[in-house]
Structure formats: C-alpha cells, structure tokens
Structure 1
Amino acid sequence: MSLMELQDKSERVYMSTGLRRQTSAEIVSEARRSLRTLATQRPFTPQEKHRQLFGESSSRALDGRPPSAFSLHARHFEAPDSRPGSGTRLSPLEHKPGLSVSLDEDGGVDEATLPKPPAERGNARIGSGGSRAKLLRTASINRLPPMRPNSKNMSLEARTGADQPGDREKLHCSDVTEHTTNSSSETDLHILTKHRILQTASSARGSKPEVKLGHGDTGDDNMDESVFWKTKVLPVLQDFESFAPGDAVSDETVGELCNACNGIHDALAERGMLGRQFKKRSAILRTLFRLIDVGSDQLNLTLAKLILALNVSGNNLLNICKLIFKISRNASNDALFLNGCILDSLLSLLHCEDVWSKGEAVLYCVGSLKLLSGNSALSRMLLSKGFIGVLLQLSKRMMHGPSSTSANITSHKSEGGSQRIIAGHILVQVTAALRNIADQSESRPSFLSSKAFSTLCLILENHRKDLDICINVARIFSKLSTYTECCHALAESPRCCSVFLDLLSKHSRKQDLVVRLLFTLGNLTAKSTEARERVYEEEGGIDVLLDLFQVYQETPSSPKQCRAPESEDVLVKLIRLLANLAIHPTVGMALAANTLCVQLLLEVLECRCVQESEELVINAVATINNLSFYQGESSVVHSQHTHISQLLLKLLLSSSMDAVLEATRVFGNLSQIKDVRHFIMQHKVEQYVVTLLDSKTPDVCFSACGVLINLSADPENRAMLRATGTVQKLIDCLRDFGPQDWHLAAVVCQTLWNCSLDGELQHTQELLEILRFYTDRGALQWPSDDGVRQVQEACWELLFLPVAERLRRRFYIEDIITNTGKTEREWQRCTSTKALISQKPTSLLQSYFFSHTCLNLQQLWFGQSP
C-alpha cells in the first residue's frame, strides 16, 4: 500500500468520524486493511442529438405528450380586451357616459361591463340569422388578425379598438368621448378616425377628455398617466405599427426594435406600471403580439420579456412560454439568453405558488431552462440565480398536488388525472435540468445546502413507475455520488437504499437505469458502513442483487454470439457493489457462505477472458479476495480453494498486470491453507511470485510478500525460497520502498524473519546496515506536510519499528555468536541479554517486543485482515 493510499484512507476515516481527530492506532488499523473497495468508471450519459422536451429514448408515447415542434404566430395570441362569449345574452343597460369600466384578467375591458346600445339597435345588428353570441364566435374576436401595414387614415389609438370585425363595436384603452355602434365597418372606421383626429386636436388645445375608461380615477394622476402614455409609450407603439409580416427587416432594425421594447419596459418599471397596473396595457400587448410575426428570435425574446412582465395569463402565457422554448431549441441562440434578463422572468414564473393553474406554460418554461442548462455558461448563470433551489421547491409543489384555492381545482376526476399527467411531464423537465446542472462542480454546494438528496429520493419513491423521471434522478445520483461529501449526504437519506433496491427489482431489464443505480450503490458502500448495513438488512436486498447477477450473466447461445457491452457494464458495477459490501464483517461472512454468490463469481472467471473483459474479471477476482478473508467453516470460498487456485493460476500467466496483482492478493489469503501452499509449490507458482518482487510498484511487492510469508511458514519450503534468490530481492525491496511505504517495509521484514528461521541468511551485513538506518528516527527524512508526516510516523512506529527491531536484534545476536564461537543456548543462559546489545529499546512497545520475542523463534503469518 502506497503512502498516498494511506493518506487517502486516513482522510476518509477522519471525515466519517466527525470532528474527532484520528489516533495513530486508527490510522494503522486502516492501513492494515487489505479488504479493498473497488472503483469503476461512471456510466456514460450520451448527449441528446436534438433539443426537445423528451429525448429519443423517452418511455412516453409520442401521441400522449406535448410537442416539441410547432408553429407560432401573432394570430395564436388572444386579444387581451375580449373574452369568449358565454352564450347567454345580457339585458340591455341604460347608457351612462360616466360609468367606470372594469378590466378582465389580461387587462382588457370586460365585455359585461361595457355600456350597451339601445335594445332596438342591438337587435337590428343581430339580424334574423341567430343570436349575438353566435355572431361573436363566428367572428373569432379572441384572435388577432395577421399584422398589416399601418393605414394612413387610422391611428394606433383608434385601431386598438377595431382590430377585428367583432371588436368594432368596442373601443378600449383610449380616451372615449362617445360610444356608438353602426351596422357597417365603413361607418365604424369613419367614427374611429374622426375620434383620433378630435382627440389629437383636443390634446393640442390642452383640454381634458370628457370621459375616461378605467377604474374611475380622476385628477392629476390620470393626467400624468395620459401624458406618460402620449409622450413615452404611444409614439413607440406607432413606430411598431409600420412593420408588416413578410417584410425584410435588417439586423440594425431588429436592434432598434429591441431597444425600443427595452425602453418601454424600463419606463413602465420606473412608474410601477408593469404587471396589470397600467390601464392601457391591452393596447401595448396587442401591438407587441403583432411584432412576433417579424420572425426575429432576438426580437421575440425581447418581446417575451416585456410580455411576461405585463403578467399575461391563460393562452397568452402558454404561447409566450412556447415561443421561448422554440427559441431555446436552437443552440446558436444561447448567446441571446446570456445578454438579457429573460432567465429572471422564467425563474419568477416558477416561483409562483399556484403553478398548477399554469399547467403547460410551466412545462415549456422548465423545458426551456432544461435546454439552456446544457450550456456551461448558462448553467453557471442559472446557478448564481438559485436555480437548484427553485427547481426543488417546484418539485415539492408538484408532488404535494394543487392547493385548495387553485383556480383549476374541480371535482372532476378527468381534470385531476390531466393535472397529474402534466405534473409528471414537468418533473421530467425538472430532473433533466438538475441532471445537466450536476455536471458543474460549482453545483455541489447548492445540492448539499438545499437538501436535494432527500427530495430526489422522495421523487423516486413517488414516481417509481415513471422511467423517464427515474433515469434522470439516477443520472443525478451517479454524477454526484462520485464526490465524498455528496455520497455521505445521500447515505444519510434513510430510504435511499430501499428505494434503489425496489427499482432494481421492478425495472431489472432497463439497463440504463440498473447500471446507474448499481454504480451509485457501489459509491455509497465504498464510503459508508451504514450503507453496507442497510443494503444487507433490507429484506430481500441481497437476493435482488443475485437475481440481477443471474439475469445479466446469461451466456450466449453460441460461441460466435457476442455479449452486449451494456450487460457487461451492469455486471462490472454489480460485482463491484458485492466487493464493497463484503468489507463489512457481517455482510462479508454472509456472502462468503452464499453458494450462489460464489458460484456466479467463479462463472465469470470460467467464461470470461481477461483480454476481452479485463475490468469484469479483475472485479470478480477482487471480490473473491475480499470474501476469502472469511475462512470459517461455512465459507464456500474456503471449501472450493482448489478450484479457485486453478482459476487464479491462469490469471498469473496473463499479460494483464492488474489481473496478476489481484490473483496474487487472493493467494495471499488462500495460502494460509496448507493444501493451497502445496498447490503453489507443486505448480512452481512461488517462482513467479518471487519475480514480482522486482516490480517497481509497491502494491505488487506487498502482495508478493504476503504469499511468501505464508509459504515460508512451512520448513520444507524455506530452503527452496532461499535458493531462488528470495532474500536478496527482499533486501532490495526494503531498501527501495522503505521510506516511501513503511507498511510494505514491515511485511518485507516479516518475510525475512520467516525465511531465516531454520538457516543462515546471506547478505546479513547489508540487511543490518539498512535496519540500523531505518530504525533511527533522527536519521530519517520526514515530509514537511504535517498530515503526511503523521501518517508516516504512525506506520513507522506501530507497523515497521517493532518487527524491524526484532529482526535486527536477532541478526545482531547471531552475528556476535558467530564471531565469538558461543552457541545460542549459551547466550540464552546469559543473565542479562540487554548487556549484549548496545542500543536499548526507545519505547515501551519496543521493550515489549524485545522482552517477549527477541529470542523466541516463531513463524509469522500473513492474512488479509479487515
């Protein structure tokens, strides 16, 4: 184990134990662990080829989901000063010129509150063909006609009330002095034109109009508003009227139009007239709707910002959100969103409490933000605006259902079902946007601070049948769980493991979902003991995993048939999860005793080739290594040690150094069994293991020493090991890696001890010099970093120093015996052994080893300890 691995382990344990600092003993306990967690690559998330509401892999039926492509023109927007006819004719009202007129929800004049003409005139207009309501529906007064060039004889103020045949009987958002109705459109046009001329003349003389529409306000405020309208807003709207659909508009003109719209927005905002406050709001909206047909994305985005600021609702709100979504589908338009404040408008729409009443408009709003969040610059901008918190709050409102005060609440089950469908569509967009934003490293603090993991787990639990939502959330978890702090936060969600296992059981054939859930569980169990316990204690949890193992382990029907790479990726993540679970003693013993689990792992080694499926084979061997630690009577690994040894022998001969390393680690555990040691010596495996000591990799040398320690425990093996040059290679390994990895240095000393139990070692003088230097704390150079130094000093003092002092004193005594001709028995009869040794122990721990083991020759064993 390398120094950096020790440091990484110590940092991980320190983080998981709260504010308490790790002791040296705890650091060494971590360093002794040979049961290892496994790492793997995160599942690849492909980018969608096209920007759309639902991806090509969506589980939703094409005919049952809102479209991503549509045409949108000015005629699709409703005139804000009219509403659909109710079908019931109202009684005529006596004409009162001073009557105040109320506005509808979009700022227009409510038809029911308008002064009515005499009944006889009204009946004459209806004619004998049907009712007035029928005429209104036929005329489609709620739709704007296509934009046309401005008439020289009709001013904007006049035309705002006469845009459509059915609207010519009404005059809105202007100062009205007379309300009359004629039977022909020519008469209406004449009256409106005359009214515009008279109004202009009246304004020039400085006189006030006699009657005003609105909420009955009078006085200076009305005069100020009238002046503001005529000087700031009306001239700009009149300029807008000069543009007709189909005309070629230059970029410069588009820029001027955008600046004019921004000017109106700023002017209204300065006077507090945004929203529904401005009495002539409907005239502004009607003109803005016509500009949509100019066909410029830049202009339409600017129009959308102003229209949303005027607080439109209903069909107009839906169409504006559709317009923004249509613009956001083109990646080349992303720069337009960077230069404006439209993002704030969209986020404000999601902040509203009654999102249920806005239904599809919210869907296209979140859909636009989802597409834009795929741009790294825009995603960072959204993050700075609290995007994650907004989406999570929206998700909670979607899951809680509509409020009791919602305008759309009805007792009809069909409408409730429709609302739930729209809510599901919205959650797909929300989770997809969070999936995109999770790619940004800056997003992690927001996910942690907003408690996103518990909310996402709740979404999974409530929508476990919706594959689109499940896959999006699984992708979020697979991205974030690769970071330690996010992994711990997810592990703290009490239901996460239960929900994951339930989804794995219900959607076992959905590979893209299964592989991500397994990857996330693998990350959790790699860093959290509690997660290992939860997976194991969940009823049927291990059975779910083994069932998945069997499903994806199915061998091809013929040798020529290739296995799907997706299936192999699932197995890689699944086996890694089993390896991480086995670190927990209770879980590890249960898995080692599970016949099906061990058999499936052995099938991987039997049926897979390391050249073709390297990661899969290595993960399987690593899992067997972790299970091989538990060598109780119930262990299936222990009972099948011969078959496992045969499979490992093939891996030792492979060209993959990673496979060789893992196989050597397993032999390090299994070689505690005498039959396995006999197998190794019989098949000359020890010669190959000795050559691994030449490796420049500390991990390889460490694993080779583990096998050699156990082999040298048998007296009949020691001479053969010494004959292969083991001692010299061990001394070289100690010299090269000692200061870098004191854990490895301690294992080398243990191997040298065993190899020298029944015979003299060569090169003892060289060994003594190395040990004398390495046991002198003052002669060693320590890292300047306090954290690294603490880890190194702990391993040096508690792992290396005891066995090194033991070995050094033994060879020192033997050297004195050899030089003076005394026998070992004579030296044992000396009254004081310490008098023969020049250097006394420097710590109580060294004194213990000196007094108890210095003269007691015994073999040491190597085992993978948890």
Structure 2
Amino acid sequence: MSFLNHNRGKRDPFSLNDGDRRQTSAEIVTEARRSLRTLRTQRPFTPREEHRQLFGETSSRPRDGRPPSAFSLHARNFEAPDSRPSSGTRLSPLDHKPRLPVAPDGSFWEGGAALPKPPSEGPDLRRTAGGAGSKHHRTKSLPRLPPVSQHTEEEAERGRGNAAGSDDTDDSVFWNSEILPVLQELETATAPGRAATEEVVEHLCEAGTRLHDALKQKGMLGRRCKKRSSLLRVLFRLIDLGSDQLNLTLAKLILALSVSGNNLLNICKLVFKISRSASNDVLFQNNSIIDSLLSLLQTGDLSTCCEAVLYCVGSLKLLSGNSALSRLLLAKDLIRILLQLSQRLLQGHTTDTTPDLAYQKTLWPDTAYQKPSAPDTANQKVHRQSQEATTGHILVQLTATLRNMADLSDSRPAFLSNRAFLSLCAVLDHHRDDPDICINVARIFSKLSSYTECCHALAETPSCYRLFLYLLVKYNRKQDLVVRLLFSLGNLTAKNSEARERLFEEEGGIAVLLKLFQTYQGTEPVPDGPTALHKPPPPPNPDREDVLVKLIRVLANVSIHPTAGTALAANAICVQLLLGVLEVRSVEESEELVVNAAATINNLSFYQGESSVVRARHIHVSQLMLKLLLSTSMEGMLEATRVFGNLSQIKEVRHFIMQRKVHQFVMSLLDSKNPDVCFSACGVLINLSVETDNRAVLKEEGVIQKLTDCLRDFGPVDWQLAGLVCQTLWNCTEDGLQQHTHDLLTILNLYLDQDAALPWVSDGDGDDVAEFRRACWELEFLPVAQKLRNRIQSQVTSPEPIGEAS
C-alpha cells in the first residue's frame, strides 16, 4: 500500500489502503513494518547427554538389539593369525589334481612317512570381538615370546625362501639395530611382578612412539613389515597393563600396521572405551590417534569392517562434545570426511522402497539405484538385514557427531562447501523409519538454519519440504522431532520468499500443519460444520506449548506470501485454531504462544478479500484484541494494536474502538517512547480520523499535542514514523487547527530543511543505512510534511513570523 498519492485532493484524508502507484523500496519497508511480519523464536533446547555411550537414554533402539557401549578388552581378545605377513604373491591354480598313494589299509602315505594329524584341542583363533564370543570356546592368552635373538630372526627369514637379496640384508640390519632393542624394552615391561607406574607408562609411550617413527621412516608400516607377527604379539600383551595413555599409543601403532578383522574391531573398541571418560580428552589432544581414526573412515572397506567403523565414529562423537577437541576435529576436515562416509554408506544401502532418485543423480551421477533383480535367499536376507542395521547404527553416530560440530560457528563454511544439506536430506530420505537418525538430522537443521547462508542452502535443497512434511505426519507424536522440524521450517519461511511458496504449494502441506495444530491444541473439527470446533481447546499443556509456538510461527511466515496468505485468511479451521489460542490462553502464562497467535491474526487481517474469515469475524477478533491490549505484555499490546490498525479500515470496528474507549488507550501509546509502538498506534489513529465525529473526539482528548510530541521525539531518527505522524496530523487537522500551531510549524520547518534534517544520520551507520534514511526522508516524510505545513499556514489567521525552509 502507498501512503503518498501526489494526485490526491488537498482535503482528502489518508487511510491505510490509499493509492495504487508503484511503491518505492522505502515504502515497501514501511508496509512490511506496518502489517506483515515474520516471527522469531528461540531454538529448541538440546540437553547434553550425561553419560558417554553409543546410544543415549532416549534412543528408540532396544537395548538387546544394539551394539554395547561397555565391555572388557584384554590381550587374549586379539588374534595372532592377523599378525602373519602376507607373501604378496598369488599362487597359480594347478592344472591337475595330485593323487597321493594309498596304503593297503586305505590310508594315504607318501614314502612311508606318517601324515600329520590335526591337534585335538587348541585355541579358537576365529573368535569374534572381545567379550562377545562363545562362552564355551574362550581364546587363550597369547603366549610369552621367547627372547628375540638376531640368529632366530635371520633363520626365520631365510626359511621363508625370500630371494630379495641385499634388500633382505638391509632390512635385517635395520630390524636388529633399530627395532629389536625397542621390542625388548617393551617386552621387559610385561615381566611378572612389574608394576605399571607412571614412570613406566611414560617410558613405554615414548618407546612406542620411537617404534612407530622408525617403522614409518623405513617404510615398514602397513603389511609390508615382514616381522609383524613378533611385533603385534608384543603390542597386544601390553594392553593388559591397563593404561589408557599407553593404550592410545599402542592403538595408533597397531592401526598403522593395518590390522584387520577382529583385531581392527577390538582396537576401535579400545579407543571408544578410552573416549568414554571425559578425563581422557586431554590424551586425545596430545596424541595423533585422531588422524588414524579419520584415515580408517576414509579408506576402510565398509563391507568387512562396518562394526569397527561404528566404534570409530562413536569415539569421534564423544570427543566432538568437547569444545577444544571439536575445533581440532574441524581443522582436520572431519565434516567433509563424515559426509563422504555417509554417501558411501548410502551407496551400499538397499531398501524395500526405492529412495528419492533426485538425490542419487545429484550425489552420485555415475551410479543409479537398482532394486535386486531376484528375491534374496534366507541367508542373503539375514546378511542384508544385518548390514542395514549396522549401517543405521553408524549413521546414528555420524549424524550425532555432525550435530555436535554444528554448534561451532566456524563450522558453517564446511557444511556449505561440502553440500551437507543435500547429503543429510538423502540420509533422512533413506532412513526415514529410523527415529534416532531423524532426530539427529533435525537437530543439525535446527541449528544451522538459524544462520542466513545455511538457511538459503537448505531452502534450495530439493524435496526438503516434502521430507519435513512426511516426517511431521509419521512422527506427529514425537515432540522432540516435531518441534525441531517446525523450527527449521519457520527459519526457512522467515528468510526466504521462495520457501513460503514451496511449502504452501507442497501437496497437502497446509493440511498437515493444521492437523498437527489440532493434535497439539487438543481439538478436532466438527464433522458437519467446517467453521466450528467440536470442543473448546483444553487447558495449557507446557509439554505441547513449544510445538504450538513453532507451528504458529510457520503459519505466520507462510502467510506473508500473497497467495498463501489469502488462502489461510479464508481457511475457517486455521482462523478458528488461532482464535482458540487467544480464547483460552492468557498472556501472563503463555506469552510467546499468545503473541505469536495474535501476530498471525495480524498478518491474515492484512488480506481484505470477501473470503477472509478474519474480516468476517472482525467483531470477535476485536474483542480478543481488546483483551490483549489491556494485558501486562508490551509485545501483546503491540500485536493487538497492529491488528486494530488493519481492522480499523472496517466501519464497524472503528465504531467498536470508539465505543469501548480503545482509542484512549491507543493515544496513550504515543507516550511510550517506543517507535514501533508509536508507529502501530498511528496506524489505528489514521483510520479513526477519517470520520468527522471521530476527529472531533480525538482532538478534544489531546491527540494533536501527542502527535506533535511524537514528531519532535522521533523525526530525526525515524523518518518513516515521522511521515506517518504527519499523515495522521493531516487527517486530524481536516477541520482546522486552533492550538499548537506554532510548535508544529516550528518542527516542520526544521525537519523540511534538508541541511538541518539529514545531518541527524549517524556517521557510523554506513553508506547503505545513510542512503536508506535519505530515501525515507525524501519519499516518506517530505511530500506529506510540505502539504501539512502549507495547510497549517493557510489556516493561521494571525501567523507569527516563521522562517521558510530553503
């Protein structure tokens, strides 16, 4: 709407729906300030988990169906066969099947020699993770190594038949001179009766670091070390000393030797066990084990080490709860690594329902999702279900880690540059049936969408609106998830006009929000009457109120879009639900909820079409606004005044205001010294003063003096408000001005002088702010102030000398 029409007659009054010419940017801001507004609210509070574990107390996973957080690990849990070096050479298959001679008794023999028999008993070397194996087959403790000598090692190497020549000699010299002495130091520490004192632990950690550095320098890490068996046996035995500091040093070295299978799993479990104690966080800061964990996440084969990855990510989740460590993890590019891991997990994930192909084409353009061509066998189905369960467990830890990282303000560029919102929406789409994953992703979105750049990135993510609405239906009773999804939608619709349109146009979107409103309000529509409710809303429920606050905020923000706002204003259920809040809630006990409901009614009252339910029920709405206007809440008063500013265009509402003496309260708001309150009060007074009878009452009760004081106080700092005050004065002086002419003319002459008016702009405001204020002075204040000054001067019978504006 425009408040300045240069073609209007000299005596035409201003009103809130005046003019149809193209608006300036300053006028658009004025319009938004007067009527349609987005709402703010606090982000839902997420308490820190008291206990460090894989899954929190609120996890939806049954305790007996999820990996444990507590377990014991000892040297006997590690398997020696993993330490055998591989030859690196594959043997060619035989072209014939050799036949062994058969003895007369039917037994095989070769040259009369007896064939070796398998041992009758032995340790079960195929045992699974420590603490999780069979009760009847326990792996024995690794035997103590005999003293390692130079000769035995050399003989063992010669016995392998390796023809490396001088390289073997160099390696042997290096091993005997650099590695064996350190191994002997480590072996001595495990001697019976040797106590693991602080000094011993420090010495062992230093020795372990020297061992790692020496092997790295020689290029003998990974599986290239020919004597991994000897080395790993010594390292495994040291775990029984029970020192967390030493075990982290050992874990770094063991991981660098590329262990696999259960040894890899148990090492990751060991690191996770250490990370469960907050007092150990300093150990991770002083140890590069984090680099080893991140390397595993990037290079680990997910088909064989999924459970190890689970405990690896679980450790990072616990560590990321420490602010110092979270910054260290951010510097090590954790966000990128986790997002790439999530994509790898989804690539290998199959489901009974086809996921959204739009995500796959964007994330993985070279791959396409394909459903299995044939039904799984029973074993395949069990294996697939186990893999999917482990994938879900990993993603719970992964999304929880990202949730912690999202608390860092410095993390936002990493989320943006790595297309985090697209990846997380893909995770949400594939695992929509996993409440733990859904709540973690919702928490990430609720944190990041509070920031403009992240909000725009999420708003531009395909199908996020459909996903959010789907989850609001599926988990409509899960309050912690619902409130965060609504908070994110509120952020999107507060900052992005396209987001308002997309949410409104999403099929069934508004119906989902209104159904959710009814659920948490505790009301249901009458089957035979769409405009009434079956029963009044129940008393306030603190547990549900936060959901209603966030939900109403979404409706208020969406209603700013003209198409959506017109439809919502005509929606009887929507309007009645909002009025129901105002009918049964008091601003004293539920201030944010009541204020948000009133603000949404204000946005809807902006639309003046005949289909508007707000306009049709203007008297009832006015009664509720009067109740709010008389409350103790300044925010409530402000919203009620804004609603009256829109509804006072209706003659019956103007009559209601004058009859109930609401105008007196509105006039008192001009003394509030709050520019927004004064702005809203002028919006009501400008409409009231259109009618002659109302003008007489307002002038008799001192409106001219209050408006003059308001102009004096706010003109230099708020030219929009000054322009609206002048419009109100124009209406109020329609029948002549007998008092206050001198003061008013003095103020107008001063503010109409460009040199005197514009220096009020602060030097620290910046060029954009200064330009905006200049535009407001030229377009919002100057034209109407000039007309008002000319009128007053013409009405003064004996004017006193007043200087003209240049």
Q: What's the TM-score bracket when you normalise by the shorter of the two chains?
A: 0.7 to 0.9
Q: Is the 8 A contact 1:246 1:294 kept in 2?
A: no
1:238 counterpart residue number: 184
Deviation of the 1:682 alpha carbon: 0.5
For residues 379 and 580 of structure 1, do their structure 2 counterparts lie closer, same or farther at Cα, with a shift above 3 Å needed? same
Q: List per-residue Cα deviations over 1:489-540 (Å, max 9, x = no partner).
A: 1111121111111111111111000000000000000011111111111110
1:797 counterpart residue number: 778
Deviation of the 1:355 alpha carbon: 2.0
For residues 717 and 259 of structure 1, do their structure 2 counterparts lie closer, same or farther at Cα, with a shift above 3 Å needed? same
Q: List per-residue Cα deviations over 1:281-311 (Å, max 9, x = no partner).
A: 1211110000000000000000000000000
1:537 counterpart residue number: 505
For residues 680 and 139 of structure 1, do their structure 2 counterparts lie closer, same or farther at Cα, with a shift above 3 Å needed? closer
1:378 counterpart residue number: 325
Does residue 121 of structure 2 align to residue 135 of structure 1? yes
Q: Give 3-state SS (helix, strand or coil) of 1:327's partner.
A: helix
Where in structure 2 are the equivalents of 1:116-515 lying within 5 Å?
Answer: 126=117, 132=118, 134-136=120-122, 145-146=140-141, 154-156=146-148, 174-176=153-155, 212-214=158-160, 216-244=162-190, 247-352=194-299, 354-401=301-348, 412-515=380-483
1:734 counterpart residue number: 711
Where in structure 2 are the equivalents of 1:716-727 lying within 5 Å?
Answer: 716-727=693-704
Deviation of the 1:806 alpha carbon: 1.1
Deviates more, 1:554-563 or 1:68-77: 554-563
For residues 230 and 704 of structure 1, do their structure 2 counterparts lie closer, same or farther at Cα, with a shift above 3 Å needed? same
Q: Which amino acid aligns with 1:671?
A: S
Q: Which amino acid aligns with 1:343?
A: I
Q: Give 3-state SS (helix, strand or coil) of 1:696's partner.
A: coil
Distance 1:586 1:286 in 2: 73
1:30 counterpart residue number: 29
2:609 counterpart residue number: 632
Q: Give 3-state SS (helix, strand or coil) of 1:367's partner.
A: helix
Q: Which amino acid aligns with 2:154?
A: D
Q: Is the 8 A contact 2:349 2:388 kept in 1?
A: no
Deviates more, 1:412-421 or 1:506-515: 412-421
For residues 237 and 810 of structure 1, do their structure 2 counterparts lie closer, same or farther at Cα, with a shift above 3 Å needed? same
1:788 counterpart residue number: 769
Does residue 759 of structure 2 align to residue 812 of structure 1? no
Deviation of the 1:229 alpha carbon: 1.1
2:494 counterpart residue number: 526
Q: Is the 8 A contact 2:628 2:637 kept in 1?
A: yes
Q: Which amino acid aligns with 2:467?
A: V
When normalised by structure 2's length, the TM-score is 0.84
For residues 140 and 800 of structure 1, do their structure 2 counterparts lie closer, same or farther at Cα, with a shift above 3 Å needed? closer
Does residue 564 of structure 2 align to residue 587 of structure 1? yes
Q: List per-residue Cα deviations over 1:329-374 (Å, max 9, x = no partner).
A: 1111011111111111000001116323211000000110111111
Deviation of the 1:819 alpha carbon: 5.2
Deviates more, 1:533-542 or 1:348-357: 348-357
Deviation of the 1:173 alpha carbon: 8.6
Distance 1:25 1:710 in 2: 22
Does residue 650 of structure 2 align to residue 673 of structure 1? yes
Deviation of the 1:561 alpha carbon: 9.0
Distance 1:839 1:306 in 2: 85
Distance 1:247 1:68 in 2: 31
Does residue 87 of structure 2 align to residue 102 of structure 1? yes
Where in structure 2 are the equivalents of 1:47-86 lying within 5 Å?
Answer: 47-80=48-81
Q: Give 3-state SS (helix, strand or coil) of 2:304's partner.
A: helix
Q: Which amino acid aligns with 1:270?
A: Q
Q: Give 3-state SS (helix, strand or coil) of 1:357's partner.
A: coil
Distance 1:674 1:24 in 2: 27
Q: Is the 8 A contact 2:142 2:233 kept in 1?
A: no
Q: List per-residue Cα deviations over 1:462-505 (Å, max 9, x = no partner).
A: 11111011000000000000000100111111211111111111
Q: Give 3-state SS (helix, strand or coil) of 2:462's partner.
A: coil
Q: Is the 8 A contact 1:24 1:791 kept in 2?
A: no
Q: Is the 8 A contact 2:127 2:139 kept in 1?
A: yes
Distance 2:440 2:655 in 1: 53
Distance 1:750 1:82 in 2: 88
Q: Give 3-state SS (helix, strand or coil) of 2:232's partner.
A: helix
Q: How many pairs are equivalent?
A: 717
Distance 1:771 1:392 in 2: 62
1:659 counterpart residue number: 636
Q: List per-residue Cα deviations over 1:573-605 (Å, max 9, x = no partner).
A: 000100001100000000000000000000000
Q: Give 3-state SS (helix, strand or coil) of 1:501's partner.
A: helix
Distance 2:473 2:803 in 1: 67
Q: Which amino acid aligns with 2:781?
A: F
Q: Which amino acid aligns with 1:432?
A: A
Q: Give 3-state SS (helix, strand or coil) of 1:212's partner.
A: helix
Distance 2:650 2:405 in 1: 53
Q: Give 3-state SS (helix, strand or coil) of 2:158's partner.
A: coil
Which entry has the higher C-alpha Rg, 1 or 2?
Answer: 1
For residues 621 and 638 of structure 1, do their structure 2 counterparts lie closer, same or farther at Cα, with a shift above 3 Å needed? same
2:593 counterpart residue number: 616
Q: Give 3-state SS (helix, strand or coil) of 1:356's partner.
A: coil
Q: Give 3-state SS (helix, strand or coil) of 1:102's partner.
A: coil
The two structures, once aligned, show a CA RMSD in angstroms of 3.0
1:570 counterpart residue number: 547
Q: Which amino acid aligns with 1:665?
A: R
Q: Between the two proteins, what is the percent identity of the paired residues?
A: 62
For residues 120 and 646 of structure 1, do their structure 2 counterparts lie closer, same or farther at Cα, with a shift above 3 Å needed? farther
Unaligned runs of 5+ in 2: 1-21, 91-108, 129-137, 351-366, 368-375, 525-533
Q: Is the 8 A contact 1:173 1:279 kept in 2?
A: no
Does residue 690 of structure 2 align to residue 713 of structure 1? yes
Among residues 519, 527, 531, which one is paired with 1:551 in the alignment?
519
Distance 2:404 2:747 in 1: 56
Among residues 672, 685, 709, which one is paired with 1:695 in the alignment?
672
Q: Give 3-state SS (helix, strand or coil) of 1:549's partner.
A: helix
Q: List per-residue Cα deviations over 1:777-820 (Å, max 9, x = no partner).
A: 111212322121011111111111111111111112223x5559
For residues 270 and 398 of structure 1, do their structure 2 counterparts lie closer, same or farther at Cα, with a shift above 3 Å needed? same
Deviation of the 1:123 alpha carbon: 5.2
Q: List per-residue Cα deviations over 1:732-771 (Å, max 9, x = no partner).
A: 1111111111111111101111111113241111111111
Deviation of the 1:837 alpha carbon: 11
For residues 402 and 80 of structure 1, do their structure 2 counterparts lie closer, same or farther at Cα, with a shift above 3 Å needed? farther
Deviation of the 1:217 alpha carbon: 3.4
1:601 counterpart residue number: 578
Q: Give 3-state SS (helix, strand or coil) of 1:626's partner.
A: helix
For residues 69 and 139 of structure 1, do their structure 2 counterparts lie closer, same or farther at Cα, with a shift above 3 Å needed? closer
Q: Give 3-state SS (helix, strand or coil) of 2:429's partner.
A: helix
Deviation of the 1:219 alpha carbon: 2.4
